[in-house]
Structure 1
């Protein structure tokens, strides 16, 4: 047995302190030496604590911060330090084993899900932190699903193994059954032989050693013992784990099968062969490496850092970046539409630099910081950018490398890297930017198609909670609007609307905490002098029955006549017919535009029994152009002209029956106006009602608290109880889920020595149930406080929108009164 630093024993973990003053962004690294990773997890699983240890062990920071003391590096916002939670994703870079790792620490609270979405969008890999006591939790499943939908390879780290009630084996089986994946155990826990079974370290399955950490140390001093010198019990566990690891990999790797057949002994397979097969399987999303530790006690973090470098992909190992060449039009009178088409960014696009803006931050000292991921080429200082999303040009004045809330200036951001553009006022989240990789002023010399490239946008979830915001005085109106504009640039999941009739401004967001943080930022950071109303719900309106046909004619100048005839009707269900219609917005409104209108001249009886000809006079106006015209013309009235409360319309079909444009008109502006006016008139006499969001609510509680929770949900909150079940039954009946439950049963895991040390932990773990209910969102405002009171702080819940449903007649008037209050 001997003691030394872990990095001295294992050169793959050699520490190279990050030189923050470097003028070149990873100039010495090829793309293969880059890892873009994110830390994802349920709230309080230990994301920020783990990140803090990673930065300390890599030499990036010299002092270990503490979440409870509010001095961690990555949680630098005042609200984060005050509440002890991550609110905004934070980025940093560090060096480990001669690799550059760009790391993003994401929030765990469900209200900040957009921060997770936009971070995952630019990642190549993710580390999912799990609480070894709680196991796979609701938000764990959600962020895992988000990463899986984007094809992100993952590593799992079972944290808090020092806690009473921690169960590594149980958590691993939950990873398999709930997150639906194969696993590869790279480390398993080691406990002291005392009666307390204290967590001391890990067995490194790949490198064949037992690593223990000095109690109370900073994580750098370790004791490393070859497995051959460990106890017989540890040797037996090691052989089981390594055999299971190789056995699992042989199901995925033919070359490893051949290696096994040479000796027919799993233990004879070399570490190099295992690492090669495991790396390939991880990158292909066929398996998830699993490690364990206790970040707060500085145990097990270095093996996790090694795994990030060894098994997560570089940008070069990810699938080619998908993009679109946006729809365009040829010039002249005989203009025609060139439809959008899918492409991939490849080496044939010479001299192209293409990047995605994934985050905008307003820094009080530095100004606007635009975070970008470069997918192709090299972004250089002073280059002229072309924003393909907005069609505008801008010049890069300065480029930065970011470490949490500190920065250092660089001359370029190379392909595959993440950095910051300083001072650009025209860029927003989701924008695609292109420039010339070599000539700083050469963007307009790129092929025309290059200036139409658009990367996959960042999806923004629709908001469900609202608050009214008013200036404290008339003089505060302009500063309030400017502050809101800055806030929305930072967080596109917030939305602001203004009602011209009532002169009221409404701010909407993902949840109560989300809006609370937004309000604090407006007041504290942007110094807005505002008055904030109570939380209100995202109600919508819909039609009870179809409207009559409305004909509208617009003549902006003599002879320039545009006419449209349309009707509105409710969509009772988004069926196959809707899939062929032009979807207007995320409210499931559509435009039904029969293409047969182009096949024949039509006549119709208009107002006053006059016959109106609806012939297609202008051949340049293609069906695609006309369909887009009617879609754009429909948006304003459907957003703000609901006949009940002027709320947005939902599940409404705009049926275009006929149209006419004068012969000499080559654009659709006047027809858009006619469409808007016709819809407004149709809505003015429409038979409409209110719709409200119905939430799928999942409440995790002890069996002793089920009665109170069910009574509250089904009684005072007007909910419908769908089921009460064990957490393992959430996906019951799903064939794939049953497959992974069976796989979990057969997955090797070590014994959980500490799982039942605490009677309290045993009870809270084994007797927990999930109450699934469907509840109107209006009844869930303030629910967390009530739940904590009913369960002595032990209950938790998640919810998501199931669907919008019509409000019952007896509830309509009280809701209308509250809206206009």
Structure 2
């Protein structure tokens, strides 16, 4: 007897067809025999059911396939890319499994990715399972490239979180799972590398339950783990305790099931439990766990079937296909000729070649099919498309009607900043253009141009990302660069309320504009809000827009040069001279206010108000967890104190102590470097961004890149050439 589960459902969880079709439809022989013992992949696929070769694009349209946009996420080196290769192989898309070490995988297409053996940019491939077309997005696992993962989260229907059976739950695993659960993204867990020495599925399951979430449901057991013949044996109704474990987890999220169990514990059928499992999995209430090896293929058939049966898919649209197109841009890249290519998840409607959008005219489209992208004249809701011609598009943009998912940040912002210095002075102009193109692909790089010092700085997550930027500039743009020492990125928070006013021809105001502004604190993550306390219509819209835009730009550098991310700015006064001209002559700027007057005056007024309100510099703080041997505690605590760490009470463990606390982000890398010597190489450190906290002592200043409106005479000398 084999485990069964219902067929795929849409996003609201309604079942399609017979609710008692098989879940793990692959036969046990196919899952337990390693590849080298099988008679052939085709025969196994025939016996297993779901894994089969893809259809052509035309066949897909005729059969109205459902679509599933699936993310593969993991800590670095857990085997995401290898699993992607194996899924494509099982589905019949590729004839040979590529190797990360050999640089022959489908998704690691950048030369730098092949050289380093890590994923740097997210990549999309596609395969078909039964009546479901899966767009699979392979994401980076290294924490320095978490921005790539962040953008992908906005377009996912479901996810597979890969965990190593040897290393277990790691730092990035916890960050990813916490975010997936917060966003309610249905997630399966695949414990990879059962064939590796030291693999321990039971230990990993315990870590999953204690460190990630107790709402996991293991769907099988490991056999011969730690050997090349390792296999995944799916549980069946005959396995002792499987039904009881299902009830324990599922009853919390299914009141009807709990009531039936209380009335008649022996009356719950196995099929009833599996129906509840499928429903709760699609709602992201529980997380089924599979295991196996991406290298040998063990357990991948079961995972493939589980992806289709346990994750929500989107049916092919009917009447809505003729509506206005709307979608989310989650990736931008440059083609061979330098053309901009946008990756778009379509949400509603149909996007066609030659459609005109705010970002430009669509000149070409392609959808992912059979492992690659194929040209198509149109793309409908649910699909991921590559779109050419949108010259004005940026990552996070919504095409058509706003989709609401583009601008939200799920992970911590970059906390490091470094100045990029070209080795050849003549490359300065080319360097800025190259970095601007890299910022299109990764907006969190956040270029900061200092025209006064002729320098460009970038925001980064870590030293590995710095090395990748350096290698990319050399390989793709022919620009050799060096980096100055990384510094921590702080922010400024408004501490009080302040106002300032400057009117035309008063107090040395050289501009034909009058502006009054009030600055007040705002809640964290509220952002900068611009409000009006003047009468509507008293100022032309072009002037209002100029003030609003200048306020936001000016607040990128507060009193100490750091970004002011959260505050409320209110326009309290305004004054302008209407458009005038001499008799029988053209418009005279000296007699009429322009938007430029407001753009030049606003920084002076705003910074005066901000000085009166006051700001305080806050630095990023990381939360750390450190596992260390018991006899090393006496060495670690003084080291933490030197690095301004604030540890909590040590918690005893079987092998020593678990120490948790707070640590300034500026010292997190330093602690990581000192740890091997402090703990004889046995310490395990996990850090993550937690919050911003006020800086103790004198606040650090960052050099300004603007015309410095804090110093009036210097500012006026630069912008109007007079004081």
**Which TM class, normalised by the smaller chain length?**
0.7 to 0.9
The Cα of 1:660 is off from its aligned counterpart by 4.4
Q: C-alpha distance in 2, partners of 1:620/1:660?
A: 8
Please say if residues 283 and 312 of structure 1, whose CA atoms lie closer than 8 Å, have aligned partners that are also in contact. Answer: yes
Alpha-carbon spacing, 1:686–1:45, altered in 2? closer, same or farther (3 Å): same
Please say if residues 132 and 168 of structure 1, whose CA atoms lie closer than 8 Å, have aligned partners that are also in contact. Answer: yes
Alpha-carbon spacing, 1:10–1:385, altered in 2? closer, same or farther (3 Å): same
Q: C-alpha distance in 2, partners of 1:250/1:174?
A: 22
Q: Choose which of 331, 341, 362 in structure 2 pairs with 1:369.
A: 341
Correspondence for 1:328: none
Correspondence for 2:269: 269
Please say if residues 25 and 414 of structure 1, whose CA atoms lie closer than 8 Å, have aligned partners that are also in contact. Answer: no
Extract unaligned runs of 5+ from structure 2: 1-27, 30-37, 580-591, 705-723
1:186-265 equivalence runs, <5 A: 186-191=219-224, 200-206=230-236, 238-245=239-246, 248-249=249-250, 252-253=253-254, 265=266
The Cα of 1:300 is off from its aligned counterpart by 1.1
Extract unaligned runs of 5+ from structure 1: 209-234, 318-344, 435-451, 585-589, 599-615, 728-765
Correspondence for 1:602: none
Correspondence for 2:158: 125
The Cα of 1:370 is off from its aligned counterpart by 1.6
Is 1:520 the equivalent of 2:482? no
Is 1:109 the equivalent of 2:142? yes
Q: C-alpha distance in 2, partners of 1:620/1:659?
A: 7
The Cα of 1:703 is off from its aligned counterpart by 4.1
Could you state the TM-score of these two structures normalised by the residue count of structure 1? 0.69
Q: C-alpha distance in 2, partners of 1:60/1:147?
A: 28
- The aligned length equals 651
Correspondence for 1:495: 446
Correspondence for 2:384: 418
Please say if residues 513 and 575 of structure 2, whose CA atoms lie closer than 8 Å, have aligned partners that are also in contact. Answer: yes
Q: C-alpha distance in 2, partners of 1:618/1:354?
A: 33
Q: C-alpha distance in 1, partners of 2:220/2:595?
A: 65
Is 1:314 the equivalent of 2:293? no
1:336-485 equivalence runs, <5 A: 350-364=322-336, 367-380=339-352, 382-387=353-358, 392-401=359-368, 407-422=373-388, 424-434=390-400, 452-460=401-409, 462-485=413-436
The Cα of 1:466 is off from its aligned counterpart by 1.2
Please say if residues 563 and 660 of structure 1, whose CA atoms lie closer than 8 Å, have aligned partners that are also in contact. Answer: yes
Q: Deviations over 1:648-702 (max 9, x none)?
A: 3466665655444568999987556543221245568998775433332333444
Q: C-alpha distance in 2, partners of 1:74/1:110?
A: 19
1:496-511 equivalence runs, <5 A: 496-511=447-462
Please say if residues 322 and 350 of structure 2, whose CA atoms lie closer than 8 Å, have aligned partners that are also in contact. Answer: no
Correspondence for 1:87: 120
Please say if residues 359 and 429 of structure 1, whose CA atoms lie closer than 8 Å, have aligned partners that are also in contact. Answer: yes
Q: Deviations over 1:39-62 (max 9, x none)?
A: 112222222222222122222222
The Cα of 1:250 is off from its aligned counterpart by 5.3
Q: Secondary structure of the equivalent of 1:563?
A: strand
Q: Secondary structure of the equivalent of 1:315?
A: coil
Alpha-carbon spacing, 1:297–1:618, altered in 2? closer, same or farther (3 Å): closer
Is 1:648 the equivalent of 2:563? yes
Alpha-carbon spacing, 1:726–1:113, altered in 2? closer, same or farther (3 Å): farther
Please say if residues 23 and 411 of structure 1, whose CA atoms lie closer than 8 Å, have aligned partners that are also in contact. Answer: no
Correspondence for 2:51: 15
Q: Deviations over 1:497-553 (max 9, x none)?
A: 112322221111222222221222122122234443222221445678876x53212
Correspondence for 1:440: none
Correspondence for 2:623: 696
Please say if residues 29 and 99 of structure 1, whose CA atoms lie closer than 8 Å, have aligned partners that are also in contact. Answer: no
Alpha-carbon spacing, 1:497–1:709, altered in 2? closer, same or farther (3 Å): same
Is 1:676 the equivalent of 2:585? no
Q: Secondary structure of the equivalent of 1:87?
A: coil
Q: C-alpha distance in 2, partners of 1:159/1:560?
A: 66
Please say if residues 124 and 368 of structure 2, whose CA atoms lie closer than 8 Å, have aligned partners that are also in contact. Answer: no
Correspondence for 2:553: 636
Q: Deviations over 1:325-364 (max 9, x none)?
A: xxxxxxxxxxxxxxxxxxxx99679522212111012244
1:166-181 equivalence runs, <5 A: 166-181=199-214
Q: C-alpha distance in 2, partners of 1:258/1:650?
A: 50
Correspondence for 1:30: 64
Q: Choose which of 154, 173, 176 in structure 1 pairs with 2:187.
A: 154
Could you state the TM-score of these two structures normalised by the residue count of structure 2? 0.78
Q: C-alpha distance in 2, partners of 1:816/1:351?
A: 50
Please say if residues 163 and 191 of structure 2, whose CA atoms lie closer than 8 Å, have aligned partners that are also in contact. Answer: yes
Is 1:535 the equivalent of 2:423? no
Please say if residues 470 and 482 of structure 2, whose CA atoms lie closer than 8 Å, have aligned partners that are also in contact. Answer: no
Q: C-alpha distance in 1, partners of 2:428/2:476?
A: 17
Q: Deviations over 1:120-170 (max 9, x none)?
A: 211100111122333332211211122222221111122233445544334
Supply the RMSD in Å over aligned alpha carbons: 4.2
Q: Secondary structure of the equivalent of 2:325?
A: strand
The Cα of 1:467 is off from its aligned counterpart by 1.4
Alpha-carbon spacing, 1:128–1:705, altered in 2? closer, same or farther (3 Å): farther
Q: Secondary structure of the equivalent of 2:555?
A: helix
Q: Deviations over 1:369-424 (max 9, x none)?
A: 321111112333x231313xxxx4312324243777x5433333332111212354
Alpha-carbon spacing, 1:189–1:457, altered in 2? closer, same or farther (3 Å): same
Q: Choose which of 502, 509, 522 in structure 2 pairs with 1:552.
A: 502
Q: C-alpha distance in 2, partners of 1:701/1:365?
A: 53
The Cα of 1:464 is off from its aligned counterpart by 1.6
